[in-house]
Amino acid sequence: MKIPMPKPVNAGFKETYENMRQIADSTDYSDPMDTLIELFALLIDMQRFYMSQIRDEHRAKYLKLLGNAEFNKIHRAVTTEDYENLVLQMPGFKNQKVKAVFCEGNIIKIYVKYFSTRIAEYLEPYRLITTKLIILKDEGDLWT
């Protein structure tokens, strides 16, 4: 007999218990099978509770321990902070002053203290297709 797999649901104890009873075709509450179903439903509910208590920064640390170094890497630049961080990650631009400003029409202006044509080339693979980048040298007004 093939046991049907239940759909994953963020249900509480009662819903999990009733779902498992339905799968096991258990109708008698005094059946020892019902006690096991109740125990497993309780364990599933406890596991869901503890998993919901883990914050994102702890998840990131756990993934880092597992060897997932790609977790914090930016694959697509979406926000102005993403663009600023990407420019600062460029070789030779670690101490660069960078300010990215979102303008109307999906245009992002990136102001840098020391202009280089390499910035646009470096940011191109990270840019969203609908975003237009404008790299500008700041004359000092932005940093005061």
Q: Where are the domains of the chain?
A: 7-72, 80-137
Listing DSSP states for the chain in one string gives -PPPPPPP----HHHHHHHHHHHHT---TTSHHHHHHHHHHHHHHHHHHHHHT--HHHHHHHHHHTT-TTSS--SS--SHHHHHHHHHHSTT-TT--EEEEEETTTEEEEEESS--THHHHHHGGGS-TT-EEEEEE--SSTT-
Q: What is the pLDDT of residue 7?
A: 55
Calculate the average pLDDT of the chain.
80
CATH architecture of the domain 80-137 equals: 2-Layer Sandwich (3.30)
Specify the pTM: 0.49
Q: What is the pLDDT of residue 97?
A: 84
Q: Read off the pLDDT of residues 37-86 as tens digits, 9 standing for 90 and up.
A: 888 888 888 888 887 787 878 877 877 787 766 666 777 888 888 888 88
